Structure 1
């Protein structure tokens, strides 16, 4: 999972992404998480770069393809989630009972692979 997350972060950073947010069992005390959930800031992104070099980052509808490449699911932070009326960044900051919770933010401008 770390390798897949690092690949996604490398590709997002190359496209101009500034921040990625990580959620799911990956950021809990669960000993063997099955995957990670993440969303990324879309501002100032080079979408042509992503379409050419990392098209699966743009295709949130094909979750199995994302999981096969990155070992997790990735969404734009402003992408609506289901029928909840929340964007993914807001949704990730809620638990299953919709109480507030923390997530991990990684500043890709300072991150080095």
Structure 2
């Protein structure tokens, strides 16, 4: 379940309360795909989620202005759990970080990083870095989406 967004002093938009909040893609759609642009971003997230699930990815972590109160987020940010991922089945775009992740944004309208990859700017794994508000440095929440049994992906991705 996705909790209500909360104000964070110093941040321009409401944010998720601290923690990794487990949710399905349908939960994400209900909470955040609330207009045509947000739905377009969500469609890219679903496409990427299906590709990651096909490669054996167990979960993704959703962050960025998409999961805030910002009326028109530019994109979404996500990281994916590399545990059990078959490199031969992984779409190479998930490992393409050049030009501000332009290939990922073109394919999915968002950015993806392996969750265990270090964000060199802060010396933390992306899954931890994503839980810090970029404006204040304070703790905030992210969404954890288990992919293996997500109802929205059922029937779209073959095992």
2:12 maps to 1:12: no
Q: Report what 1:65 is aligned to.
A: 103
2:65 maps to 1:25: yes
Specify every segment of 5 or more residues in structure 1 that has no aligned partner in the other structure, as ranges: none
CA RMSD between the two structures: 1.1
Q: Distance in 1 between matches of 2:115 and 2:67?
A: 18
Q: Report what 1:80 is aligned to.
A: 118
Structure 1 runs of 4+ with >4 Å offset: none
Q: Distance in 2 between matches of 1:19 and 1:27?
A: 17
Shift of 1:23: 0.3
So what's the TM-score if we normalise by structure 1?
0.91
Shift of 1:82: 2.6
Shift of 1:83: 2.5
So what's the TM-score if we normalise by structure 2?
0.66
* Deviates most, 1-10 or 60-69: 60-69
Count of equivalent residues? 110
Q: Report what 1:36 is aligned to.
A: 76
Q: Distance in 1 between matches of 2:98 and 2:92?
A: 12
Correspondence for 2:141 among 82, 102, 106 = 102
Report the secondary structure of 1:100's partner residue.
coil
Shift of 1:59: 1.6
